[in-house]
């Protein structure tokens, strides 16, 4: 898995406008439980794991373009479903882009997760409004 992460980070650096992007300390996600209609905002630090329902969401990297470029936030996520009596199953491993949530979406019958923003821990709440 680490090899895929390194390869993906290298490929992301080749995308136009990504060279000046800055690594951020945390990602802001929106998560939806389609059955209960519960929507949650999750703020997860890079390297940490958060739980939403049966999902364990681990943030590996979060990038944000500088203000002088077109807005884009992208996060490299690893999402594993851990049913109570079953073996954990990897549901998503890769980049999610805030501007194109359908581009690389997690396919799951119960849960939706998408990136809203990347920020540093000192960033105010007003800068990450949906």
Q: Among 10-14, 59-63, 87-91, 111-115, whose mean pLDDT is lowest?
A: 10-14
Question: Does an H or E element contain 120, and which?
Answer: none
How many percent of the chain have pLDDT more than 70? Answer: 78
Farthest-apart Cα atoms in the chain, separation: 49
Tell me the CA distances in angstroms from 108 to 2, 36, 89, one per residue in order: 24, 15, 12
More confident residue, 30 or 9: 30
Q: Which band of pLDDT confidence, cut at 50, 70 and 90, is reported for residue 105?
A: confident
Q: What is the Cα–Cα distance from 128 to 22, expressed in whole angstroms?
A: 16
Tell me the whole-structure pTM to 2 decimals.
0.75
pLDDT of amino acid 100: 87
58-70 residue pLDDT tens = 999 999 998 888 8
What pLDDT digit, counting tens, does each position of 32-65 carry?
999 999 999 999 999 999 999 999 999 999 999 9
């Amino acid at each position: 898995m680490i090899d895929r992460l390194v390869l993906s980070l290298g490929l992301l650096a080749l995308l136009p406008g990504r060279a000046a992007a800055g690594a951020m300390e945390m990602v802001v996600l929106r998560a939806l439980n389609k059955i209960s209609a519960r929507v949650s905002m999750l703020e997860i630090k890079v390297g940490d794991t958060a739980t939403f329902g049966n999902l364990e969401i681990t943030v590996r990297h979060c990038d944000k373009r500088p203000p002088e470029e077109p807005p884009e936030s992208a996060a490299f996520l690893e999402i594993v479903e851990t049913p109570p009596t079953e073996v954990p199953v990897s549901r998503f491993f890769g980049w999610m882009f805030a501007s194109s949530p359908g581009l690389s979406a997690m396919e799951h019958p119960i849960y939706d997760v998408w990136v809203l923003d990347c920020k540093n821990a000192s960033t105010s709440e007003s800068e990450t409004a949906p």
